[in-house]
Amino acid sequence: MSVSAVATDTAVCDPLPVLGRDVLVPLVTGGQIDYAALDYAASAPALQRVWDDVAAYAPYYGSVHRGAGYLSQLSTDLFENSRATVAEFLGCRADDQVVFTRSTTDSLNLLAAVLPPGTRVFVFETEHHASLLPWERRADLAVTYLDAPRTPGQAVDILERALTEREPYGPALVCVTGASNVTGELWPVRELAAAAHAHGARIVLDAAQLAPHHPVDLAELDADWVAFSGHKLYAPFGAGVLAGRADWLRDAEPYLAGGGASRSVTRRPDGGVAVDWHTTAARHEAGSPNVIGAYAIASACKALTEAGLENLVAREQALIARLRAGLAEVPEVKVLSLFGDDAPRVGVLSFVVEGWNSSHFAAALSAEYGIGVRDGLFCAHPLVRTLLGGEPDSPAECGAPDAAPGEKPLNAIRVSFGAGTPDEHVERFLRAVGELVRDGARWNYRTEGGRCVPDTSA
């Protein structure tokens, strides 16, 4: 099958085409190949629909909440309607707020900033750094890091125990990821929310990896907040979302001080200024809003809903099954997992290859097969180190000899996919893994700027 035939076949049957499917990349061994984007968990390609919607709006672009002109009014409506679309997509309750942020990281830092003084925070050590790290920056928060569970049931038990041991407490927050960015495994969000609420704690769901692959319904999950990023939801225009309970957001100081967050500012008799801050989402959106980012997210929400997220899930499950079955045929490959083979998961999978440095393997996938994956610790260092069996034996570089058999790997390789991924990309990946393990890389590699790259100096 030719490259162009691959792209055409998929375009015909795919209700959610993405950009970039016909992009050609050079191979170090000569020639070009269409790029196999298998790093959706880092940033997914834009949906064609999102791109088209943004392009159609672009000539009408104007300031939001600030102008009297027609395009300002139109842009303001678009921004506020985007908020409503996102609220619907997330199953928000009537009094929830949807705040547009820059990303999941920004959303969780915002939530950390608005927690009532002295809030106790419970967070699993397995979280992505975006949900692991924001809490300790506030000295008045008491953070409890929970050990990695080995089953979803154990996660609930560990949380229950921690919440019970530390009672009584005032405000408390549990932070949990919906789908792991390392293993793709789903966490028992509903059960964790029930445990949190039974002890009077609230819960925030890091849905950065869940929302692009799986329906998220705040009311149904009984979660208090949810955070996600546009660029992982096929809407790469610099916006993210924090949605959920209004009270703590409304009671806290604005995240950023500035125009848009303030209703009125007056001089005080003592010479200072008195500010009347908004009590709506605008309170935490100071500065000119990113209307294109917000509109792109809303467009993606609509596209995913209209195409039927259940269809996306079914297609992705078939690809996951194929991927896992293919990798199971290569004894040198070890797939990383917390919850075991039967755990429900999204299209994200990490693995190591016996005798290989992961950076070397990922570089060869790119340079020799045109396949884009990620290698490293995926901004979840404690989790990946646990899954790899602890701290590395020696800090080898990719130009150095590969890992000796039995040596603890330094890092892992992650493959991830979603809407618009053709079967051929997964098949090419499996073929590449088989060939690299059997025959080795066809090229020499060296380390440059911390990355493993093909050595083209010879």
Collapse the DSSP code of 366 into the 3-class scheme (helix H, G, I; strand E, B; otherwise coil) and give the result.
helix
Stretch that binds ligand PLP, among 68-76, 81-89, 141-149, 206-214 (CB under 6 A): 206-214
The C-alpha angle with vertex 127 and arms to 124 and 128, in degrees rounded to 5, equals 160
Residue carrying the six token digits 């560990």: 158
Which residues, 6+ apart, have CB-to-CB distance to 113 below 8 Å? 138, 252, 253, 255
How would you classify the pairing of strands 445-448 and 273-277?
Answer: unpaired
Residue 339 is encoded by which pair of tokens?
Answer: 């919850």
Q: Which of 92, 175, 301, 379 is catalytic?
A: 379
Binding mask 50-89 for ligand PLP (x = CB under 6 A): ----------------------------------------
CB of 378 to ligand PLP, least distance (A): 7
CB of 130 to ligand PLP, least distance (A): 4
Using CB under 6 A as the binding rule, whether residue 99 contacts ligand PLP is answered as: no
Amino acid making up residue 51: W
Using CB under 6 A as the binding rule, whether residue 181 contacts ligand PLP is answered as: yes
Using CB under 6 A as the binding rule, whether residue 10 contacts ligand PLP is answered as: no
Q: Does the CA dihedral 30-36-41-43 come out positive or negative?
A: positive
Closer residue to ligand PLP (CB): 104 or 447:
104
Stretch that binds ligand PLP, among 22-30, 116-124, 126-134, 142-150 (CB under 6 A): 126-134
Amino acid making up residue 222: D
**Helix H segments across 39-103?**
48-57, 70-89
Closer residue to ligand PLP (CB): 379 or 453:
379
Using CB under 6 A as the binding rule, whether residue 103 contacts ligand PLP is answered as: yes
With CB under 6 A as the contact rule, the residue among 229, 290, 411, 416 that binds ligand PLP is 229
What does the alpha-carbon distance between residue 274 and residue 66 come to, in Å, rounded to a whole number? 21
**Helix H segments across 45-176?**
48-57, 70-89, 104-114, 129-132, 152-165
Stretch that binds ligand PLP, among 3-11, 128-136, 218-226, 364-372 (CB under 6 A): 128-136
Q: How many residues lie near ligand PLP (CB under 6 A)?
A: 15
CB of 181 to ligand PLP, least distance (A): 3
Q: Are 159 and 186 in contact (CB under 8 A)?
A: no
CB of 110 to ligand PLP, least distance (A): 12
**Is 379 one of the annotated active-site residues of the chain?**
yes
Using CB under 6 A as the binding rule, whether residue 290 contacts ligand PLP is answered as: no
Residue carrying the six token digits 């390392």: 182
340 C-beta neighbours (distance < 10 Å), count: 10
Helix (H) or strand (E) holding 351: strand 348-353
Give the residues lining the site for ligand PLP (CB under 6 A). Answer: 41, 103-105, 128, 130-131, 177, 181, 206, 208-209, 229, 231, 379
Residues designated as active site:
379
